[in-house]
């Protein structure tokens, strides 16, 4: 799980990074808002841990800008204050969870695990699509009966994104925002080629084109360990 931590208190940031690294999280640190924006521009994260008060650009301003551009990466806001007004402000701009300093690491991990469950991040699961097809979220392969169908990296990430947003129309712009890094954006024609290839692997089932809107993955999904 790839995590951006925005925290300007060095002792706290080092402790969080050391603790989460031991749990196999891939950690990136920003000690001010400008560095956070730079990292967000160059990397795709699974989770944002944002301190409310940091130099140059505040954590809430970072999140406000990020959500304004359409990015859905889940975010936990860290703050020393937890007034109802502050909570309301954070949730209005798109914060998904909230944690108040000082906190124990166990509490932080509980909140991260809640986010992982809700957003299905790095879940070690087999998603059953129908009686024939399943998807292995760990190895990012399609399973058809006893056959394993390998996918190129981007096709597997598109399939996973569809499955995490089943039965909802997904625009090409949303795929570009949430699947690709900022500096590697493909053309619309390339996206359509990926979708075409994925359809072939599913025997042209499940993915509908919604005219002038995007695509919808239609399935009744079940997850098994």
Output 21 or 121, whichever has higher pLDDT: 21
Output 5 or 137, whichever has higher pLDDT: 5
The share of the chain scoring above pLDDT 90, in percent, equals: 61
The domain locations on the chain are 2-119, 126-224
pLDDT score at 165: 85
Q: Does residue 224 have a pLDDT over 70?
A: no
CA distance 48 to 95: 10
pTM for this predicted structure: 0.70
pLDDT in tens, 125-160: 788 888 889 998 878 899 998 899 999 999 999 998
Q: For all residues of the chain together, what is the average pLDDT?
A: 89
CA distance 5 to 26: 10
* CB 215 within 8 Å of CB 195: yes
Q: Does residue 221 have a pLDDT over 60?
A: no
Hey, which residues does 48 pair with through a beta bridge?
4, 75
Q: Where are the alpha helices (DSSP H) in 134-187?
A: 153-164, 172-179
The share of the chain scoring above pLDDT 70, in percent, equals: 95
- Which architecture does CATH list for 2-119? 3-Layer(aba) Sandwich (3.40)
pLDDT score at 225: 43
pLDDT score at 123: 62
Q: How many CB atoms lie within 10 A of CB 50?
A: 26
Strand (E) or helix (H) holding 223: strand 222-224
DSSP E strand stretches across 26-156 = 26-30, 47-51, 75-79, 97-100, 126-128, 133-136, 141-144, 147-149
CA distance 133 to 135: 7
Q: What sign does the dihedral 153-154-157-158 (CA atoms) show? A: negative
Side-chain half-sphere exposure of 125, counting CA atoms within 13 A: 16
pLDDT score at 82: 74
Nearest to 57 by CA among 35, 83, 73, 89: 35
Return the CATH fold of 126-224: Arc Repressor Mutant, subunit A (1.10.10)
CA distance 64 to 92: 9
pLDDT score at 146: 80
pLDDT in tens, 56-107: 999 999 999 999 888 889 999 999 887 888 889 889 999 999 999 999 999 9
SS3 state of residue 171:
coil
């Amino acid at each position: 799980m790839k995590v951006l931590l925005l925290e300007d208190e060095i002792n706290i940031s080092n402790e969080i990074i050391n603790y989460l690294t031991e749990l196999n999280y891939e950690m990136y640190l920003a000690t001010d808002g400008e560095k956070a924006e730079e990292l967000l521009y160059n990397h795709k994260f699974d989770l944002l841990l944002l301190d409310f008060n940091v130099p140059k650009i505040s954590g809430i301003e970072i999140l406000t800008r990020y959500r304004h551009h359409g990015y859905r990466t889940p975010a936990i806001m860290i703050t020393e204050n937890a007034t109802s007004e502050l909570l309301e402000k954070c949730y209005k701009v798109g914060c998904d969870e909230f944690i108040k300093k000082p906190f124990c690491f166990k509490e932080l991990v509980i909140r991260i695990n809640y986010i992982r469950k809700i957003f299905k991040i790095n879940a070690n699961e087999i998603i059953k699509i129908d009686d024939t097809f399943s998807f292995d979220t760990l190895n990012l392969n399609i399973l058809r009966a006893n056959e394993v169908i390998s996918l190129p990296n981007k096709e597997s990430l598109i399939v996973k994104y569809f499955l995490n947003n089943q039965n909802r129309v997904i625009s090409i712009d949303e795929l570009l925002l949430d699947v690709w890094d900022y500096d590697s954006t493909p053309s619309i024609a390339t996206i359509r080629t990926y979708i075409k290839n994925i359809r072939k692997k599913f025997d042209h089932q499940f993915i509908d084109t919604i005219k002038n809107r995007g695509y919808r993955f239609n399935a009744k999904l079940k997850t098994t360990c």
